[in-house]
């Protein structure tokens, strides 16, 4: 099993979920092991390996699945830990972090990335690509431009996969309701999945009339 396969595995999902439950305080929150403040949103809690996980040690349970080797931290704190390590090395490597941020339309994926990414990070958001190449609003996506927009998406994705450029981290934003699609993309880009797990009724309230069918469709198609 590779590192990216591990982070999308049922075993890791069950382990990290149980660990987050075990470490809840009396108010039901996990306290960040880095800044020592409560983590208010469940998708903002990330399990960080103190001994860095890689393809060589990922199958060693004493490292990969050892609670003593896991810090539960805010995603922003996780970024601080990794960027501090990057700055100490003073080099650009293929080990740079990539995250697949997925969930229903109107769940808050783009907002969450905006809150956590830095100016030196690469963002692949297909909705933003649509806005960049045509005069339509983000809810209107002309069929005649699909090939162009998807071509831009594929170009940026290739740069993420090959770690082209000097960006610090990359975020791929999309719905991805099917687990097979998420697993394939995580393996291709060596990405770690971040599920913006917002309730359907909240997403529906945020959606305008044009987007409500897309929210319905996503929840119909979603596979954990």
Residue 169 corresponds to which tokens in the numbers above?
A: 């981290």
| pLDDT at residue number 89 | 44
- Entry pTM: 0.85
Answer yes or no: are the C-beta atoms of 73 and 33 closer than 8 Å.
yes
Answer yes or no: are the C-beta atoms of 33 and 72 closer than 8 Å.
yes
What does 168-222 look like in DSSP terms, one character per residue?
SEEEEEE---SHHHHHHHHHHHT-EEEE----HHHHHHHS-TTTHHHHHHHHHH-
The DSSP H or E segment spanning 38 is strand 38-39
| pLDDT at residue number 80 | 87
CA dist 196 and 112 (Å) reads 8
SS3 category, 99: strand
CA dist 58 and 46 (Å) reads 17
pLDDT tens per residue across all 224 residues of the chain: 888 889 999 999 999 999 999 999 999 999 999 999 999 998 999 999 999 888 899 999 999 999 999 999 999 999 888 776 555 444 445 678 999 999 999 999 999 999 999 999 999 998 899 989 888 776 678 889 999 999 999 999 999 999 999 998 999 999 999 999 999 999 999 999 999 999 999 999 999 998 899 999 999 999 98
Distances 151 to 33, 63, 89, 198 between C-alpha atoms, Å: 41, 40, 34, 30
Answer yes or no: are the C-beta atoms of 100 and 192 closer than 8 Å.
yes
DSSP 24: B
Residues across the chain:
224
What does 147-164 look like in DSSP terms, one character per residue?
HHHHHHHHHHHHHHHTT-
Residue 13 corresponds to which tokens in the numbers above?
A: 């999902």
| pLDDT at residue number 38 | 96
Place of tokens 């390590």: 85
The residue ranges of every structural domain in the chain are 1-91, 94-224
Strands 38-39 and 30-31: antiparallel
Answer yes or no: are the C-beta atoms of 100 and 182 closer than 8 Å.
yes
CA dist 184 and 50 (Å) reads 27
SS3 category, 2: coil
Question: What is the architecture of the domain spanning 94-224?
Answer: 3-Layer(aba) Sandwich (3.40)
> Of 209, 223, 220, 218, which is closest to residue 107 (Cα–Cα)?
218
């Amino acid at each position: 099993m590779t590192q990216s396969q591990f982070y999308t595995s049922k075993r890791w999902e069950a382990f990290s979920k149980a660990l987050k439950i075990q470490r809840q305080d009396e108010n039901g929150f996990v306290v960040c092991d880095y800044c020592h403040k409560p983590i208010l949103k469940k998708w903002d809690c990330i399990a960080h390996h103190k001994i860095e996980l890689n393809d060589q040690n990922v199958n060693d349970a004493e490292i990969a699945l050892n609670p003593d080797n896991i810090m539960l931290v805010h995603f922003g704190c996780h970024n601080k830990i990794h960027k501090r390590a990057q700055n100490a090395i003073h080099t650009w490597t293929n080990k740079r972090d990539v995250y697949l941020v997925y969930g229903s339309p109107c769940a808050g994926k783009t907002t969450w990335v905006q809150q956590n990414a830095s100016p030196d990070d690469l963002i692949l958001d297909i909705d933003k690509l649509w806005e960049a190449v045509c005069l339509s609003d983000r809810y209107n996506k002309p069929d005649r431009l699909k090939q162009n927009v998807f071509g831009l998406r594929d170009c940026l994705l290739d740069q993420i996969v090959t770690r082209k450029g000097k960006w610090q981290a990359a975020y791929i934003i999309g719905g991805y309701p099917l687990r097979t699609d998420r697993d394939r993309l995580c393996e291709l880009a060596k990405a770690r999945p971040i599920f913006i797990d917002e309730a359907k009724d909240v997403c529906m309230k945020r959606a305008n009339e044009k987007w409500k069918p897309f929210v319905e469709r996503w929840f119909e198609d979603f596979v954990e």
